[in-house]
Structure 1
């Protein structure tokens, strides 16, 4: 059933809205007379033709009239009364939502959350999320958070929060539902690639305190640094960790694994700081946009940590934005081997533009490019060596008899030592196959680069 036509109604507030939109716009507007009566069709065609020739800098008056008309119809005919503020804020959200997945209108709560996220402490489940086909997509679970411990994985699609379907929600509404009192439980219903039925995963909310830099020695001489996201102090914290690892090792490191898997990005300057730590000189990243201040170039300062030491950077589909800046810079400068799977492919830069009344715009203002001029937007960083995340299945072999097991075998003049069983390496290959392969590559690079052995004794001369 339809509703009565409201085209004859043009209350004063609707006319006032149209005038306000024109009066407060920093742009001019194109004055086109409205068509009426029998001239409606011809007027529409003329308006369409005129729109095609719309001069830049002028607002299209017909579209503004349409906006005011839609606003009028909603106010008059929608089943429930909606206040003007809600309608206008929804219109603003719609403008930003249709631009790209990363631009957004931030209300006070969302604006505060964004500011908190860059400092490393916030409440919730511990997942970086986006929207895909109307559902909430998990970009990555953050290390050591309730979501990761509960088994949430990058690429999962959340279709329900407790009993509430996600379809039709905005991302901000979904995030608001996921947050709550620490210690309370929420059930995520997710769809996972390769799994036939939806999974229900209960997660206990907590105050998330993210430590963006962690690390340890994998083997004597081989360090491991894990960056879970890029916060303001990530670069400085990483340098402190490298100092600590070298003290623990008692000497300079022989190789380093930099783990950027499932790192959703963060602060651009932090990505520059991390790249600068390993690059002696040259361009790290540059950005290009429409505004003059969006054209920026970031260069490495002279001097680098671990100069000449082999580095392997681990990436996957959850490595996004600032992670891709680091991987792209080290790859272009041939300073590291990139290993893993292709990255997320977010090659754009967002600027937070504060507004009045504790609101802000998060607006995509530039694209970024790697030092060689590559844009990874919607493409990602392709690893130098592709290594999928895998689970090893070992083949059982019979115990073989070796020379040392034979009765009466000749002794080694340098003495006999029992060969190591490699328990630590075996455990690493079982728990993290990609990291195991990265460590193996570092060891192989050091084998190729080690100096030749000097002769300690001359071979005895032939006697005849």
Structure 2
């Protein structure tokens, strides 16, 4: 599990130094100052009164941490958080691109733990968690009202251990159950390949410290192989380090054009202008509801300053910038504070709205189907949401249940038997736990096949059209 909103859009200490040296003084308005005398007295008095009068012994350091957490919560900003020493250490690891857990970035919204995005290839993604899912319980313990760090600590755990999650999803009437085995998540943040017609595809799973260098390597390799057009895929990319996304965008945005604007609390804007030369081949960018923050900066820059097409779904909508303060805390703990908002090149603030694609493309319904509750078998004449999920899965796999409304009729029985036979299971037409698990596993493999990825295929097709159009105009 990523720590809080770890990878939304952060400035590391190193990137702060770089920003200042390039005239993008995003932190110029950050000031420091201790407590006023009356404030220090008030807090100190509260601390002494609690320690001296509470009916049980109290841990003074825990009280201090609680006071800081209270200050952060009063901001009512899910992206500003306090992290203790252990949590702060895990935060730094995630920025570097490796961590242990279920592999999903979360934020706190209205007292709920909300998934921003599951990381590609992580246990969370493989299990079927989605952006905007709300985690209600972990191993039977409610997360409602918990501080985000406390909630995250319940989700985290040793590699190989199980996290049993209850999740609420928009459009699904009953909570969903997931059992996820925690694992090490060692991220390769950039993956690339060439499609027929010399269309390159580069997927960026997050913007970690090494992502910029890896992107340049893969782009140079594709260009050396004669690439004629490029698809950049930032679907389910929760964001990352600001300087890294600027570095990547600069390779496509012509010199002098804007990449991003950052506005501080005093309404002063720092504009990041490209020093690059742009590209002479067409570029498209794929995004979805899990594309957040740094991914949205890249989308906005490529669309508004480089003429790229955005394809897929409306993005997440996270338009603020955070920086982390660790050295100032002095004990290994860390404060991550929202210090500014970022704007697209044309001055739009996409916070809580996201960016609309130029070409809206949905995935097939089975890409987002809810998992089947395996506590009870499903059989003929039943009518419920689990039957509906099973029908959507069967239809997606080509077994033709004839309907997807949740009523288990004779045609659904025949489709189940057909699937069971293909999976070498007892073909009795009843969806027990074994059949449900086999059905879900078969669907996961089906979804991983690129030929069923509507958004990717549309992106490749659009780039091919632009390549052909450019060739005919020569």
The reply on whether 1:389 has 2:368 as its aligned counterpart is no
* Deviation, structure 1 residue 155: 1.7
- C-alpha separation in 2, matches of 1:25 and 1:330: 40
- 1:206-221 pair list within 5 angstroms: 206-221=183-198
- C-alpha separation in 2, matches of 1:300 and 1:192: 40
- Residues 131-177 of structure 1 show CA distances to partners (whole Å, capped at 9, x for unaligned) of 22323211111011111112222221111111211113221112222
Q: TM-score, normalised by structure 1?
A: 0.71
**Of 339-348 and 120-129, the range deviating more from structure 2:** 339-348
In structure 2, the partner of 1:450 is: 471
- 1:16-55 pair list within 5 angstroms: 26=34, 28=36
In the superposition, relative to structure 1, how do residues 308 and 428 fare at CA in structure 2: closer, same or farther (>3 Å)?
A: farther
In the superposition, relative to structure 1, how do residues 244 and 367 fare at CA in structure 2: closer, same or farther (>3 Å)?
A: same
In structure 1, the partner of 2:120 is: 143
* Deviation, structure 1 residue 227: 0.5
- C-alpha separation in 2, matches of 1:280 and 1:156: 38
Residue number among 231, 246, 264 corresponding to 1:257 in the alignment? 231
- C-alpha separation in 2, matches of 1:180 and 1:26: 36
In structure 2, the partner of 1:351 is: 323
In structure 1, the partner of 2:137 is: 160
* Deviation, structure 1 residue 25: 6.9
Residue number among 282, 299, 323 corresponding to 1:310 in the alignment? 282
- C-alpha separation in 2, matches of 1:301 and 1:338: 23
- C-alpha separation in 1, matches of 2:287 and 2:311: 6
Residue number among 264, 278, 300 corresponding to 1:289 in the alignment? 264
**Of 229-238 and 186-195, the range deviating more from structure 2:** 186-195
In structure 2, the partner of 1:367 is: 341
- Pairwise CA RMSD: 2.9
In the superposition, relative to structure 1, how do residues 286 and 427 fare at CA in structure 2: closer, same or farther (>3 Å)?
A: closer
Residues 253 and 306 in structure 2, CA contact (< 8 A), matched pair in contact too = no
* Deviation, structure 1 residue 429: 7.4
Residue number among 66, 73, 87 corresponding to 1:90 in the alignment? 66
* Deviation, structure 1 residue 68: 6.6
Residue number among 199, 202, 218 corresponding to 1:225 in the alignment? 202
- C-alpha separation in 1, matches of 2:294 and 2:164: 31
In the superposition, relative to structure 1, how do residues 383 and 83 fare at CA in structure 2: closer, same or farther (>3 Å)?
A: same
Higher Rg: 1
SS at match of 1:230: coil
- C-alpha separation in 1, matches of 2:33 and 2:56: 30
In the superposition, relative to structure 1, how do residues 216 and 98 fare at CA in structure 2: closer, same or farther (>3 Å)?
A: same
- C-alpha separation in 2, matches of 1:80 and 1:347: 44
In structure 2, the partner of 1:438 is: 459
In the superposition, relative to structure 1, how do residues 28 and 140 fare at CA in structure 2: closer, same or farther (>3 Å)?
A: closer
- C-alpha separation in 1, matches of 2:103 and 2:269: 33
Structure 1, unpaired ranges of 5+: 1-23, 30-60, 397-425, 454-464
In the superposition, relative to structure 1, how do residues 191 and 27 fare at CA in structure 2: closer, same or farther (>3 Å)?
A: closer
The reply on whether 1:181 has 2:121 as its aligned counterpart is no
Structure 2, unpaired ranges of 5+: 1-31, 367-394, 399-446
- C-alpha separation in 2, matches of 1:78 and 1:389: 56
SS at match of 1:435: helix
Residue number among 97, 106, 112 corresponding to 1:120 in the alignment? 97
SS at match of 1:333: helix
Q: TM-score, normalised by structure 2?
A: 0.70
The reply on whether 1:299 has 2:299 as its aligned counterpart is no
- Residues 205-233 of structure 1 show CA distances to partners (whole Å, capped at 9, x for unaligned) of 11110111012123231111111000112
Structure with bigger RCO (C-alpha 8 Å, 6+ apart): 2
- C-alpha separation in 1, matches of 2:186 and 2:341: 30
- C-alpha separation in 2, matches of 1:97 and 1:351: 17
In structure 1, the partner of 2:313 is: 341
Residue number among 69, 84, 87 corresponding to 1:110 in the alignment? 87
Q: How many pairs were matched up?
A: 362
